[in-house]
Structure formats: structure tokens, C-alpha cells
Structure 1
């Protein structure tokens, strides 16, 4: 009688419970599925990624009530006609009709256009071509409400008499959300068939190949439903769905692959269905549980970015991994219990086994004989791949992340060509005074001096504010304007002045021709923040560039704690699993190597532009959240293969006490399974690399590269070579006495 039979472990008891109550388990899975579909039909409240508490967000909040405050909720609408000129009554009437229709929408706060406007304002909104006219439509509410209102506004400004193009942040976000949904659907439609092909090649039977897809689909559906539920109570970014689908599908299929492979192997040894299931969960099931814990720990590192969309993304990722582990340890064993030997039904005349023999026996033998010859060149290759990461530049996603044929991007390019001042990068400056009117004579004088100081900064092409109404007005004229009662001012001056004032806050817009994510724009933000005083007021800087700067600083500030937590907790999880001090530290080093290669490739491809024509994207700085998101996700995912390989090696070491034999046997037994699992993950991730949105494309490709490196160079070559060189030191830990085969570990020990 085996040890496991005499003293059943938790996983052995779980296997027997699932076997006896498989109908109830499968019924529970159906309930989960129905609830998930119901939540999916209800939808959620997804947003773009935001970070609470940064200076840029505070500046936006202060300036929001002013008509000329934040431009985030303002749509630029460009009207064009090939034959008509803007001076013709029919052009003017068509535009007036469209804007009147838009103004009546409850979601629209205000409309500014040259129709009926003073000559000075009209000149700003009419192009030199004479065939294009610009209007600004400001929407109510915050970013989420404005983005939700975009389709209605887009429909309202459509007119058969004119060519109408919309751009601006709201148009960008609406297009981004639509593309993310399309990318998610396309990636899933591609990844499932690809995964099925690999599974058919691995298992050589239709039934066995379908089981991981069932578990993967169930885990992703429940994970996405969980994200939608969470989005009702917390800030959940739209592309969290893409991340959750990407991670959930990959890990669920991998976990199922491990369990189905072990189950089929145990059946082949002549065991009954219940015995095979018990031994499978006691070995592969245990590895899956620890692997899932390692992945969850990695994603939990994102919780350190509290107050940001990254924290919510980590929560969503951990949720889908938990579903993957739950279903792999319950629903899948229930299906295997029901199928029994029928798991091999539908045998195909091709494919290969993931077990021992052939290539893996030869490779294991060669690595054991030549560890230095394997280790040194492979390490050098990975380090060389990681070198470009030293040139990393970070910048938030902007409109160039959209494909060139999207309306929002084409509109931005048209706006820059026809209305360069309106298209200029705007850096928001909100000056908050202690209390009272922000436009007294004394405060007007301080604002005037600040505006002229801003105008003299490098790269500034203009300043718009209550003290920049007319080039002919000097400081004294603005002091007189501030002293005059509002009812005595000309209407145009009253409207213009009030557009930049709200409560005790004065708003200034500093314009630069530099792109929002450029170094020049960032330097301008830094220069504006260098002197906070404006008289008795204090300035805060916002806008897209400032948000970019603050988001990057936020990520960098919280990254050390997140990285330290992930690495420390991963060490603890591996120590509990392996009872070794050395192997967890080695695992951390191996993970860092595969990540370095992936990060270096990301910089080389997406920042420096190699392969951009093949992958169809515009090169540029890396999204600030991407490296830490990849780190937390991949650090856990890499443990899939580490746990699988080391668990099998440890089984052999506990049985024989021979480190070299254990390493060779572990590699021989799991090498094919690891590469097959990696092939599935690479197929899933590569499907996301076909996305239209650059951030999703970069994440999919980055994860595919990391998994490919990890499962080939790292786990199959570097790890065995290092373990061969380290010998019995691998297993040093508390209670180590040099007789591992004599210990009782609660793990199945084969006779």
C-alpha cells in the first residue's frame, strides 16, 4: 500500500470526493456558467486607466467648472465641403443646423463655433483653405460619462450635406474601447483553434484535447464576469478584459494539460479511474495549486498600486487565475472521472507523446554531461537580448496608438494641418487662491506676470487665459478690467474672462507645438512646476503631458515594493513546495533572465521600431504600466514550468537521493509537456499580438516571447544545467540530513 493510500493528503481526499460526487460538481459548473453569461449580458462600467491623487488629476478637478478648463471632455468637430466655402450661406446654415441639433442633446454642455461669433473668434475656427470650419462641443460629466455619450453626439453631428470628422480625447477613448472589444473577440476566435491544434498534436485524441478548452473557456467566462461585477464598485480599465482573457485562457489550458497528461499516464500504468485520479491530483494537482498560488502572488503585486487601474487589474487577474485553479481541480477531475479510459477516444493518426524517450532522453543525457557548455552560451544570449531594456523610455498611450484609418486619428491629423493652434499640446495650469475672487486687480497682476513667464519658456507658442484676451492690453489694462463691475464689461470680454475663472481658481492653457509624449513637453511641465507661486496663489499643472509625467512617477515610486513583495512571496511559496532554500533563489534568478529577454525585445521592437512594418504599428515610448504589468503576470506564469519541472525532479530525488539522475529524469519526463504547454500559451498570447491597439499588441507579444524563452532556454537548458552543477546543494534546507529517500513528505513516493 502506498503512503498516499495509508495517509491520504488533501489532494488525494479532494480527488476521491470529486470522483464520488462528480454529478454535483458538474452541476455546480453549469450554475457558474449560467451566472457568468447573465453577468456578461448585463455588462459593466469599464473606464480608461486612471490614477487617483496625482497632481494632474487635482488640476483637472479644479479647472473642470471653467469653460476653458479641462479639454478632456471637448470634441473637435471639423466640417468640410469640397465645393462650398465657409462664407456661403448654405455652408453656414448646414453647420448651424447640425450644431443646434447637438446643443439640444442632454449630454452636451456647450458649443463654441464661428457661426455668429465675433470676427476675432471666427478667424480661429475657419481654415485657410476656405472649405473647413471647426466647432468645439463640450460634454457633461467626467471621462466615463463623456465617452458613453459619444455615439449620440456622433450621430447628431452627421449631416448628408457636409463631411464631418470628430477628434479629441473623448473620440480617442471611444475608438480605443471599440477596438479593444474587437481585439478581444478576434484574439479569442484565433487562440481557441490554435490551442486546439496544439492539444490535438500533444494528446493525439479528440476527447483529451477538448477538455483543456472546456476548462479554459469556463475560467475566462467567469473571470470576465467577475471583472464586470467589480467594475461596478471600482475603477476598472477597459483593457482589463483583454488582460484577464489572455492570462486566464493561458493558465487554464496549461493546468488542464498537466492534469490530463498525468491522468492518461497513470491509466496507462494499469490503475483504475479512481486510483489514477487520486494519484494525478496528488502530484500534478498539487503542482497546479502551487503554480496558481505563485501566479496569484505575482498579480497581487499590482495591489501595491492602490488608487490606480493597475490595482483593479491585479484583482481581476488574480480572480481569473483562481477560477482556472478551481475548475482544473474540480470540474476537470469530474469530467475525467466520468470519462475514465474514454479520455482516449477519437484517436488521431499523428502527434506525439509528451512523455519520456527519444529526443528528451538524448537532451537530458547531453545536458547532464556538458552543463557548462549549455549554461554559458545560453546565459550570454539571454543577457544580450535584455540589453535594449537599458534604453527604455516611458510615455502614456496617445492617439498614435490607434490605427491610421480610425476617424479620431485622422481627425487629429486634419486638425493639426488646418488648425494648428487648436491642435497644439495644451498644458493646463490651475492657480488656486486661498479664497475669494481670483481676478482682483492684485491677482490679475500676478496672473499677468505668470502668463508672460510661461510664454517665455522654451517651446511655448502661446498662452490662453483671462490676462491674454488681446495682444494690445498691458498689465494696467487687465488690472482695470479686474476692478470693473462685471455688468459694465462688453459681452465678449465678460464671456472670455469668465471662461478662465471659476470660484477661487484661475485657469491658464500653455500651448506648445511639441507632441504630448515628447521630451520637450515633459520639460515644459517640469519648468512650470519649478515655481509654484502666483502671488498668493499656488499653481497645479495638468493636461495629457502632466498626467503622463505623474503616471510614470507613480509607477516608479510603487514598483520597488511590488517587485519585492512578488519575489519574496514567490520564494516562500517555492520553499513550502520544495523544502529547499537554494531552489527558490535560483528560480527567482531564472525568472529575471526570461523577463530581461522579453523586456529587451519589447524595447527593440516597439520603442525602437524594428519589425514595425510587419506588425503594423507606430514606434514610440512604452506605456508606463506595461513593464510592471508584464513583470507581475509573467513572474507568476513562469512558475508554471518551474513548479512542474522541479516537482517532478523532487519526486525522483526523494525516491533515489541521486541529484544528477533526478534532474535528468525530471527533464526527460516533463520536457515535452513543458514545451507543449508553452506552445499553447504562445499561441494564445500571439493571437493577442495581432491586436490593433499597440498596448495590447505589446503585451501579447511580450508575454509570448517571455514564455517561449522561459520554456526553452531557461527551463529546458539553464535550470537543469545549473542543478547539475550545484549537486546536492540544490536540496539544502531545514531538516536536510542527506537521506531524502528516507523521509516521509506526504508526496506520492513510487516503489
Structure 2
């Protein structure tokens, strides 16, 4: 197969490049419309009880409160004549907004629960209409119009779910712009350093451009038939450029190496496609199957990253296999044009790196002595995972000066209960007054509940507080709604336990309650993601094992790769838990300790696992190539790492720079994702590939390539092997003699 690809590039190189240019233009034109198709949100399981409760509230009660306006009087109290007049005028304007529903305020109800304990502040609660994307748009307009100072001295600040969304939608683009402003120049500079020539340094950008344009076109098409998160575009740009660099770096290094041996351009292209091209194909397959595991989750936020990830990997690999060889044919020796002063000509003649060869030799001489300290450090780094807790994003992911976060702080400190985080109970039928009062009374007696609001009245401490003065808006001919307001910290363990208690309480006879609200959404999200994690992990493990077996012909190599990757990823997640959950270094990074965000943790694990397997294939391919040429195991490992060490290090550094740039973000889950992904890449490239792989290979010895007889036959028939004439044997490594004395 790879011989045919090489022949196509050699015979029809210009045609291939013309087709590529036309394809990029078409994909760019289609992909430009992707942003209009993509949506916000997508963190909830649509089949969960809390999601169904939210839908029922939307359809029958005008929607949940998702916008909270905190109104402060300049002097005195909010119920002075002047404050009352100005407050009523503000509420009247809000009730005239077509994008708002269920506007309720202190000045309408005189409810003490909507006034602060010191009487200086009052609340206006409302529901912003539309789906998640429409809510963000409408809320942005409303917050811009109504936040700020008014004549008469009133000041208004926005909070609630849509208020947080507005602040996130404002802050995230700023963070991304800053990250790209840091990452792009550094990446270009590192490309010049790594390749040593201007022409070679520009080639990875060609692959990255094709991958990004193609994936945007894919997202546009998918956005027309299913829900796709707009956050997927961030992964597309980062991963498209990163994989373009990884794959191009491998291909260019092999092509230049062959040219330096005196091979003709055509022969160099054939050998490059047959060896490095095969590695790219298998590497892309392992990354793609890891990212495909995201498709098992019901949250379209996570599924969208699966769509984007699989697409960008596939397009990057295909363009590398077809476009890159055609560019080699057209450029020939000019691939080294624009050589920079610091570039060493002998580097192309022998891609072995003495440092990596010496490191491999040292490790293989004393595998236990060198590997055990590294393992100990990684396991110690992973230990915080024993206490990990998962959550969903709230206002605490924002910087402390964000308006919605300040509003949430005031609600917790100065108001009795938080209506914005109330538990909502929806009964699917009309219920008689007596059983409804009994049910509301029992709910109000649960630990942590401040009050229960129902159509029949308000209840507190297990008895009616304001019976007969209920909110008629909570009753419908075919449904009843109860708001369970607590004084518990939203999303805390006690708040989640209260959700379970509410769900366990027997409802009025014949009714089936749906329990929703932010705490219920957290409980359901954790259950949903946790229930699918074993499926995703099993899918990743099985498909990765099969692919690596087809690649190596060994059943030991896939197991060794999986174990080492799990250890390195455990260390990464442990460090992130130590920082972002336990609070170590939190002040330095400017983040608030809180439970690990469930979706971002899963996303970080899957992406880091896929990229780790990327480098696994890079290293193993060269080791297997030398092993198949007859080298003994120690020689193959030492020389293989000597040849690939610089490539893996350079690729890891280039990709890590892109992720580490997110560490400058003001939104904490973006910081966690960027720092965690970058750290995982460096741990894998240095500790795993540099120390643990050669140590494991030395300890395994010949058994590293073991497979039962029937599987060897299967691999011989179905495994994807190099074809065509073998290259001349590579000169023996200068490190082998010392290594073989062991």
C-alpha cells in the first residue's frame, strides 16, 4: 500500500499538489460557516432526570431562574421611597424584554428572601429564553444593557447561570487570544531551531493548514445534523497544528536522512513513505481510537471533541501520506534550502542523537536501578488521585473580579438561601391540596432546607410558614412545581446528598417527580460520565492493543505500552488534582481550589493518552525496524532511541508549548487542561520514552516480541508490514558494544 502511495507521489506529484490546493480552498469555504452551526453548552446528559426536569419547567412553567440581578441602594435600604420607585421602574423595563420570562423581584413580592440581611440589596430573578446558544446571546445583550449604575444611585450586577455564561464567553476568547499570541511565535521559532532550514520548517504548517481547514468543514457538516459544541474549534486548531508538526517532523527527518546517504530523491521518497509513512498511519490510528472513545458519552460537549479529534487526526495523516511525499518530489534537495547558521550539516547524515543513545545504554545496563526512582516519583505524583472528587463548572472557574462571581458571593453571605441554586421538583400531574401540602412539609423538614415554595404556600422547618399564600405560577392543571431552597454551599457534598434525599422521599400517590436544579445536574453528570468511563477505557484499551499488535506482531509490546501510559497519565492527573483541587500552588496560578471539572478531566485524559501513543509508535517503529533487520534487542533499542530521541523530544516540546500557553488563562479549567496536557506530553517524552521504555525492553529481553503461534500467523497475514526492498543495514550503534557486555 505504501509503495503505491509513493509511486503516485513520484509520478503525479504536481497533480497531487493541485488537488490538495483545490481541496483546501473548498474545505476552507465550507468550514467558514462552521461557527454559525455550532452551539454552546452541552455539559448535561439529555436523558438524565435533571435535564428532563429542566425541559418540563421550560415547557410548562416558563423556565428556571437563570439570571440574577443584584440591585444595591446607594444609601439606606432598598425599600425607601426613592429606591422603591427606581427599583419598580427597573423591573418594569425588564418585564418588557421579549427575551425574558418569569421576572420576579423584591419590589413585586416584598419577600424577605429577596432582600439582603442588611436591607441594602435586593434581587430580581428572571429566565432568559432560548436554547443554550440563544441564551448566551440574549443574556449578553441584557447584561450589557442593564448592568451598571442608574440615576438615583442604584447599581446593578448580573449573576446566575447565564451571568456566568456571559463572563465565560467574554473571558475565554481573551484567554485563547493570549495563548495563541504566546504559542504561535514560539512554535515558529522552535520549528526553525529543530529543522535548521526555512523551507523544512514551513512544511509542517502546510499539513496543519489542511488538517484545520478539513476539520472545520467536517464540523460544519455535522453541525447540520447533530449538536456540536463550539469548543471543538479550539481542539481543532491546537491538535491540527500539533499533529501536522509531529507527522511532518517524522517524514522530513527520514527524507533528509535518506538524501544524506546519497539516495536519489525518488528512492528517498519511497523509503520515507514505506517506513515513516507506515509509522504515521499507525500513530494516527492509535490517536484516533483514543479520541473516538469520547463518542460514547451522552454529553455533546464531549462527543464534539471526539468528532473534531478523529477528523483532525485522519485528515492530518492522509495529507501527510499524500501531500508531503509530493512536496518532497518537487523540492528534492531544496528541502534543506534556507539553512540557518546554527544548523549542523552532519545532523542530516546521521539522525542518531548521542545524548539519547547514551541514556538508553545507561538504562539498559542498570534497568532496575534507573527505572525504580522514576516509577517512584510518578507513583508519588499520582497519589492525590486517591482523594479526587469531580464537579461541574460554576462561577469559581472565573477570576475573583468577575461580576457573576461577585454576585454569587453576595448571595451566599447576605441572603437566606439561594434561589438560583434551588432544587426543583416537578410533579407530572395535578395534585390535590392536602397531599401537596404534606409533601411540601416533608421536604421542608429535610436537613439544610430553608424553605419550600409551592402553589399552596411556603413551608419551613417541617411546617407551613405562609400557608395559603402560595405562588400561583407554580401550579398548572397538568403539573405542580416545588422549589426547595437550602442554605448549603452549592455543589457541596451536603448539597448533593440533599438531592438524593429529595429523590428518595415518597411523592404524592400516583405522581412521578422529576428533580432538577444545579446540584441535581451535578449528581446526574457525575453518574452519567462515571457510568461511561469504564466503557470508554475498555474501548481505548482493546482497540489500542489490537492496533499495536498489528503494528509490532507482539502481544507483550501493547501491554507494556498500556501500562507505562497509564502510569504517566496517572502522575499527570495526580499533579493536576494536587494543584486545582487540593489548592497547592493555587495562589501562584490565581485559581480557586474546587473539585476537578469532570468533562475536562476526561477530555485531558483521552487527549494525553492519544498523544502518548503517538510517541509510543514513533519510538517502537524504529526499534522494530532494526529488530527486523536482525539486530539483537539491546542494539535495536539503543540505536532506535538514538534515531528517534531528537524527533520525539522536538515534537513533544513543540506540542507542549501550545498547551502550556493555556496556563496563562484566567479561566481555571482552561489552565488545568493546558498545564495537564503539556505536562503529560513532557512526562511521556522524557521519563517514559527515555527511561521506562528501554528499562522495560531490557528486562523483557527476547520475550518483548513474543506472540503465540496462531497470532504470529495472523499477524503474518493481516499485519501491516513494510513492503518493497529493505534498505541497507544501518551501521552498528557506537553504544552497542558497551551495552552487550551486560
Same fold (TM over 0.5): yes
Structure 2: gaps (5+ residues): 729-742
Q: CA RMSD in A?
A: 2.9
1:541 aligns with 515
Q: Distance in 2 between matches of 1:670 and 1:474?
A: 73
Q: Tell me by how many angstroms 1:38 deviates.
A: 2.8
2:21 aligns with 27
2:444 aligns with 455
- Within a 5 Å distance, the mapping from 1:273-312 to structure 2 comes to 273-306=265-298, 308-312=300-304
Q: Which of 547, 551, 568 in structure 1 is aligned with 2:542?
A: 568
1:427-482 alpha-carbon deviations (Å, 9 max, x no partner): 1112223xxx33x2xxx22222222222222212221112334789988996xx6x
Instruction: Name the SS for the 1:52 alignment partner.
Output: coil
2:48 aligns with 54
Instruction: Name the SS for the 1:506 alignment partner.
Output: strand
Instruction: Name the SS for the 1:749 alignment partner.
Output: coil
Q: Tell me by how many angstroms 1:562 deviates.
A: 1.2
Q: Tell me by how many angstroms 1:604 deviates.
A: 0.9
2:738 aligns with none
Instruction: Name the SS for the 2:596 alignment partner.
Output: coil
The reply to whether residue 313 of structure 1 matches residue 305 of structure 2 is yes
TM-aligned CA distance change 1:366 to 1:345, over 3 Å: same
The answer to whether the 8 A contact 2:255-2:269 is kept is yes
1:168 aligns with 160
Instruction: Name the SS for the 1:302 alignment partner.
Output: helix
1:640-684 alpha-carbon deviations (Å, 9 max, x no partner): 111111110111111124211111110111111111111111111
Instruction: Name the SS for the 2:482 alignment partner.
Output: strand
1:362 aligns with 358
Q: Tell me by how many angstroms 1:382 deviates.
A: 1.7
Instruction: Name the SS for the 1:101 alignment partner.
Output: helix
Q: Tell me by how many angstroms 1:747 deviates.
A: 6.3
The reply to whether residue 531 of structure 1 matches residue 505 of structure 2 is yes
2:424 aligns with 428
The answer to whether the 8 A contact 1:194-1:683 is kept is yes
Q: Distance in 1 between matches of 2:379 and 2:651?
A: 25
The reply to whether residue 591 of structure 1 matches residue 552 of structure 2 is no
Q: Distance in 2 between matches of 1:671 and 1:473?
A: 69
The answer to whether the 8 A contact 2:451-2:461 is kept is no
TM-aligned CA distance change 1:473 to 1:220, over 3 Å: closer
Instruction: Name the SS for the 2:643 alignment partner.
Output: helix
2:639 aligns with 665
Instruction: Name the SS for the 2:68 alignment partner.
Output: strand
The answer to whether the 8 A contact 1:184-1:688 is kept is yes
1:613 aligns with 587
1:235 aligns with 227
TM-aligned CA distance change 1:453 to 1:471, over 3 Å: closer
TM-score by length of 1: 0.88
The answer to whether the 8 A contact 1:54-1:550 is kept is yes
The reply to whether residue 415 of structure 1 matches residue 415 of structure 2 is no
1:238-272 alpha-carbon deviations (Å, 9 max, x no partner): 43333333333322221121112212212222223
Instruction: Name the SS for the 2:98 alignment partner.
Output: coil
1:746 aligns with 723
1:487 aligns with none
TM-aligned CA distance change 1:222 to 1:502, over 3 Å: farther
1:614-641 alpha-carbon deviations (Å, 9 max, x no partner): 2221111111223332332222211111
Instruction: Name the SS for the 1:70 alignment partner.
Output: coil
The answer to whether the 8 A contact 1:267-1:276 is kept is yes
1:197 aligns with 189
Instruction: Name the SS for the 2:93 alignment partner.
Output: helix
1:322 aligns with 314
Instruction: Name the SS for the 1:537 alignment partner.
Output: coil
Moved more, 342-351 or 12-21: 12-21
TM-aligned CA distance change 1:36 to 1:188, over 3 Å: farther
1:516 aligns with 490
The answer to whether the 8 A contact 1:25-1:330 is kept is no
TM-aligned CA distance change 1:551 to 1:102, over 3 Å: same
Q: Tell me by how many angstroms 1:512 deviates.
A: 1.6
The reply to whether residue 332 of structure 1 matches residue 306 of structure 2 is no
The reply to whether residue 702 of structure 1 matches residue 698 of structure 2 is no
Q: Which of 379, 395, 404 in structure 1 is aligned with 2:391?
A: 395
Q: Tell me by how many angstroms 1:518 deviates.
A: 0.6
Instruction: Name the SS for the 2:664 alignment partner.
Output: coil
The answer to whether the 8 A contact 2:50-2:516 is kept is yes
TM-aligned CA distance change 1:219 to 1:669, over 3 Å: same
Q: Tell me by how many angstroms 1:133 deviates.
A: 3.3
The reply to whether residue 648 of structure 1 matches residue 622 of structure 2 is yes
The answer to whether the 8 A contact 1:234-1:312 is kept is no
Q: Distance in 2 between matches of 1:38 and 1:474?
A: 59
Instruction: Name the SS for the 2:471 alignment partner.
Output: helix
1:511-570 alpha-carbon deviations (Å, 9 max, x no partner): 222222211001111111223432332222111111111111111111111111111001
TM-aligned CA distance change 1:96 to 1:222, over 3 Å: farther
- Within a 5 Å distance, the mapping from 1:470-481 to structure 2 comes to none
The reply to whether residue 132 of structure 1 matches residue 121 of structure 2 is yes
Q: Tell me by how many angstroms 1:601 deviates.
A: 1.0
Structure 1: gaps (5+ residues): 1-6, 482-492
Q: Which of 178, 191, 206 in structure 2 is aligned with 1:186?
A: 178
Q: Distance in 2 between matches of 1:312 and 1:138?
A: 27
1:368-424 alpha-carbon deviations (Å, 9 max, x no partner): 322222222222222222111111111111111111122211222233344343457
The answer to whether the 8 A contact 2:551-2:721 is kept is no
Q: Distance in 2 between matches of 1:70 and 1:717?
A: 55
2:531 aligns with 557
Q: Which of 188, 213, 220 in structure 1 is aligned with 2:212?
A: 220
Q: Distance in 2 between matches of 1:472 and 1:628?
A: 40
How many residue pairs end up in the alignment?
714
The answer to whether the 8 A contact 2:38-2:230 is kept is no
Q: Distance in 1 between matches of 2:132 and 2:722?
A: 56
Q: Distance in 1 between matches of 2:394 and 2:20?
A: 46
The answer to whether the 8 A contact 2:354-2:642 is kept is no
1:485 aligns with none
Instruction: Name the SS for the 1:403 alignment partner.
Output: coil
TM-aligned CA distance change 1:553 to 1:14, over 3 Å: farther
2:342 aligns with 350
Instruction: Name the SS for the 2:391 alignment partner.
Output: coil
Q: Distance in 2 between matches of 1:208 and 1:90?
A: 72
TM-aligned CA distance change 1:50 to 1:34, over 3 Å: same
2:257 aligns with 265
1:490 aligns with none
Q: Distance in 2 between matches of 1:14 and 1:186?
A: 42
Q: Distance in 2 between matches of 1:406 and 1:218?
A: 38
TM-aligned CA distance change 1:470 to 1:43, over 3 Å: closer
Q: Distance in 1 between matches of 2:142 and 2:164?
A: 14
Instruction: Name the SS for the 2:389 alignment partner.
Output: coil
The answer to whether the 8 A contact 1:388-1:601 is kept is yes
